[in-house]
Structure 1
Amino acid sequence: MGDFNITRYLNEHSAGCSILTEEMKEFNSCLNDIEIEDINSSGFHFTWTKSLKNPKCGTLKKLDRIMINAEVMTAIPQAHGIFLPYVISDHSPAILNIPNFIVSKPKSFRFMNYLSEKEAFMHIVKEGWNRQYVGCAMYCLIMKLKGLKKDLRMLNWADGNTFNKVKSLKMQLKDVQAKIDADPHSVTTRELASKILQEYEEAKHDEFLILQQKTKIKWLSEGDKNTEYFHKVLKSRKQKARVESICNEDNTRFYGDEVADQFVSHFKNFLGKVDSVTPIEDMGNIFSVTLDSNEANAMVVEISNSEIKDAIFDIDSEKAAGPYGYTSNFFKKKHGILLVMMSARL
């Protein structure tokens, strides 16, 4: 959709047109090749005027279009275009109307942590948990959790949008403080200001907890990807992790560049100590179960291709494959040791 700067048909010129120009033919040929057509439209037929201010100029053309292909037309048959009056522009504004195409879906339930600090929270949870359901324990648990969703969502929106509430209370607080400045002795105004201030602080606290929770969710979604948000988090953590001063074992405090020297000195003393190590003379006390020499040599014996072939073809074709693709019968063969060597070779 937009201004194509060319017409398609003879009736799209207010002054009339006797033949299709080469540009019009090329434009129509292009649209036919890609198989798109003008969408059903209402409103202004001519979408461009040469001059709005010149009363003698009557040149109008249809240069703006909304076009659609067959697939979209089949999927969204209700779609149509509307061309509005020019007003002060030389082009008619175009609107693509897609009624009932994007169906709004209810947002998935997300528990907001700040609700746990509300006075009504425990009462709502207790009331929901005492509801009785018939079925197994897991079914009852799920139904109780589902039942709490509606109540907790209502609690979340009991005072409306928290962010809008903060802005509204801030404006009210400014207004009432201005009234106090004009009339410092009004007790009613001071009581109202105190009440609004308390509500504003509570709303600000709720807003902070919501933003804190959203920050954690954003981190989980973006993770450690190389994004601007990631680098901002790194800078913030680096700022928090910076050590400005430190005390040594003698409780002497060091600042600035001396902090790094104290870390190095501490770990040199901690890791630089040498302890005596007693060599182990008898390994038999550690490994109680060992292989004899024949079994040990059989573990490293060279396996020929013919032995691998014999072991594979010796598997009963009617046996079901095991978890690693081999049959259970394979493990019972005398070539059991062959499995390890063959797997390594493959």
Structure 2
Amino acid sequence: MKVEILHFSAQGIHVQITSLVHQYSFTATFIYGFNTITARRALWEDLRKWGTESPWLLLGDFNYILSQDDKHNGEPVSNYEISDFRECCSDLGIADLNSMGCHFTWTNGTVWTKIDRVIVNTHWSTLQQIDHVHFGTLGAFLDHSPTTIQLGF
């Protein structure tokens, strides 16, 4: 595998991944979103700048939910809380990759949310490969769900 850094910011690393054996290539962005709505806005702008017309995999801790279904317990989710991320996903044509395992990927012991995601763009399907995403069970010493991605080229 060849990994080339294309861009980076405080909230993401954007790379090109190429298999030297199987001759496929895709872009991947590894994300750790800041903890506040206003601080995360720079991430959404970065993603819009980094958007690509090639297969794109985005993964990590977005620290953001997309809908009320992504939260259990706590205060109800407001449109203000979810609109920035939803607009970014719509603008870029990105959506969650099908996954198995736990839906909620983070907890503080009382509130459960899906803030860790594996997202792809519409060009991902051109790779014509089988992929599996699994979000594992939160453990006694983990507040995030361990995630595995298996790409079957």
- Which TM-score applies when normalising by structure 2? 0.56
| 1:220-299 correspondence to structure 2 within 5 Å | none
Q: Does the residue aligned with 2:130 lie in a helix, a strand or coil?
A: coil
Q: Which has the higher contact order (CA 8 A, sep 6+)?
A: 2
Question: Which whole-Å deviations, capped at 9, do the CAs of 1:161-184 have from their partners, x for residues lacking one?
Answer: xxxxxxxxxxxxxxxxxxxxxxxx
Determine the structure 1 residue equivalent to 2:145. Answer: 92
Question: Which whole-Å deviations, capped at 9, do the CAs of 1:75-106 have from their partners, x for residues lacking one?
Answer: 2352131101122210001111212x0xxxxx
Q: Is the 8 A contact 1:43 1:84 kept in 2?
A: yes
The Cα of 1:73 is off from its aligned counterpart by: 2.4
Residues 20 and 80 of structure 1, relative CA distance in 2, 3 Å threshold: farther
Decide which of 62, 81, 93 is 1:4's aligned counterpart. Answer: 62
Aligned mates of 1:13, 1:83 — CA distance in 2: 16
Decide which of 104, 116, 121 is 1:46's aligned counterpart. Answer: 104
Residues 86 and 45 of structure 1, relative CA distance in 2, 3 Å threshold: same
Q: Is the 8 A contact 1:15 1:59 kept in 2?
A: yes
Q: Alpha carbon RMSD of aligned pairs, Å?
A: 1.8
Q: Which has the higher helix share?
A: 1
Letter in 2 for 1:34: L
Gaps of 5+ in 1: 52-57, 102-346
Letter in 2 for 1:97: Q
Q: Does the residue aligned with 2:123 lie in a helix, a strand or coil?
A: helix
Dislocated runs of 4+, deviation >4 Å: 16-19
Gaps of 5+ in 2: 1-58
Determine the structure 1 residue equivalent to 2:135. Answer: 83
Does structure 1 residue 35 correspond to structure 2 residue 87? Answer: no
Does structure 1 residue 66 correspond to structure 2 residue 66? Answer: no
Identity of aligned residues (%): 33
Q: Is the 8 A contact 1:73 1:79 kept in 2?
A: no
Aligned mates of 1:10, 1:77 — CA distance in 2: 32
Determine the structure 2 residue equivalent to 1:265. Answer: none
- Which TM-score applies when normalising by structure 1? 0.26
Letter in 2 for 1:89: L
Aligned mates of 1:49, 1:16 — CA distance in 2: 11
Q: Does the residue aligned with 1:79 lie in a helix, a strand or coil?
A: strand
Q: Is the 8 A contact 1:39 1:67 kept in 2?
A: yes
Residues 75 and 11 of structure 1, relative CA distance in 2, 3 Å threshold: same
Q: Is the 8 A contact 1:10 1:17 kept in 2?
A: no
Determine the structure 2 residue equivalent to 1:128. Answer: none
Aligned mates of 1:61, 1:14 — CA distance in 2: 6
Aligned mates of 2:142, 2:129 — CA distance in 1: 31
Determine the structure 2 residue equivalent to 1:15. Answer: 73
Residues 59 and 19 of structure 1, relative CA distance in 2, 3 Å threshold: closer
The Cα of 1:21 is off from its aligned counterpart by: 2.9
| 1:177-256 correspondence to structure 2 within 5 Å | none
Question: How many residue pairs end up in the alignment?
Answer: 94
